[in-house]
Amino acid sequence: MATKVLVVEDEVNIAELLRLYLEREGYEVVTAGDGGKGVALFEQEKPDIVLLDIMLPVMDGWQVLKEIRSSSKTPVIMLTARGETEDKVNGLESGADDYIVKPFDGKEVIARIRAVLRRYGGTEQDSGKKLTFDNLVIDMEAFELIIKGEHVDIPPKEMELLYHLASSPNRVYTRNQLLDEVWGFDYFGDSRTVDVHIKRLREKLEGVSDKWSLKTVWGVGYKFELLAK
């Protein structure tokens, strides 16, 4: 069965261009011209991935993303004419999985989609990916984070980042290593993205245990540290 892509884009020429790029690569494509229709089609079509413009009529891309994330972890790539770092961080912080700035090349779009789907595919296919620490369970097979016995909602990228760090306790990762290994080698972002996600993780993990911590190694990066008893 072909991978289904929902394109939410109000500029007809861009939407049609994306359709041609994607169908040529074997994807099934569904399009919506405004945010309201985008949310409706998302619920109706159950796409495998979403390409989402920010500047949309009826409901902007941020609100559409919020609606999607309220019920689904389906990967979302933001499309926008804005290129400022703050906008990129805002999108990723809100639960987007990647960010493409217009004008874009068709090959770049396809590469980004494949990279995001590879990451999600690995998560779904790998069994037994469950880490257990004091008051903390990171279950990638079920995609669940359990803190002190309670299930905690967490955006996909935060979950992947925490699992990656906790899989190698006490190993220090630079920001660039984390961008390469968690976001993908073809992610065109900056290291501030990692800092934002670490901050969000710390808010969830604060005071959970005195046996481990998410630690900053100043001038280097981050590590999941197991503390001496």
Same domain assignment for residues 40 and 118: yes
The token pair at 180 is 């390469």
Q: Is 125 helix (H, G, I), strand (E, B) or coil?
A: helix
Same domain assignment for residues 23 and 115: yes
Question: pLDDT digits over 132-184, tens only?
Answer: 999 999 988 778 899 999 999 888 889 989 999 998 889 999 988 888 888 87
- Give residue 162's pLDDT: 95
- Give residue 121's pLDDT: 62
- Give residue 90's pLDDT: 67
- Give residue 124's pLDDT: 36
- DSSP labels, 185-200: TT----THHHHHHHHH
Same domain assignment for residues 133 and 161: yes
The token pair at 167 is 């899989």
Is the peptide bond prior to 103 cis by the omega test (within 30 degrees of 0)?
yes
Chain mean pLDDT for the chain = 85
List 76's β-bridge partners, or say none.
Answer: 50
Domain end, chosen from 106, 124, 142, is at 124
Same domain assignment for residues 216 and 145: yes
Question: pLDDT digits over 12-60, tens only?
Answer: 999 999 999 898 888 899 999 999 999 999 999 999 999 999 999 999 9
Range of the domain at 211: 128-226
- Give residue 207's pLDDT: 92
Rounded distance, CA 62 to CA 70, Å? 12
Same domain assignment for residues 103 and 137: no
Same domain assignment for residues 115 and 169: no
For residues 96 and 77, the answer to whether their CB atoms sit within 8 Å is yes
* CATH of residue 112: 3.40.50.2300
Same domain assignment for residues 133 and 43: no
Does the pLDDT of residue 219 top 50, yes or no?
Answer: yes
Same domain assignment for residues 102 and 132: no
Domain end, chosen from 74, 90, 124, is at 124
Same domain assignment for residues 119 and 186: no
Question: pLDDT digits over 66-118, tens only?
Answer: 999 998 989 999 988 765 556 666 666 678 888 888 888 888 888 888 878 87
Q: Which residues contact 204 (CB under 8 A, 6 or more apart)?
A: 145, 147, 152, 154, 158
Give the position of tokens 């991935």: 49
Q: Which residues contact 97 (CB under 8 A, 6 or more apart)?
A: 75, 76, 77, 116, 119, 156, 157
* CATH of residue 136: 1.10.10.10
Same domain assignment for residues 173 and 151: yes
Same domain assignment for residues 207 and 137: yes
Domain end, chosen from 78, 107, 124, is at 124
Does the pLDDT of residue 126 top 50, yes or no?
Answer: no
Same domain assignment for residues 115 and 13: yes
Helices (H), 31-105: 35-45, 61-69, 85-93
C-beta neighbour count of 48 within 10 angstroms: 20
Counting Cβ atoms within 10 Å, is residue 224 exposed (0-12), middle (13-18) or buried (19+)? buried
Residue 169 per-residue DSSP state: T
| Total structural domains within the chain | 2
Average pLDDT over residues 176-197: 77
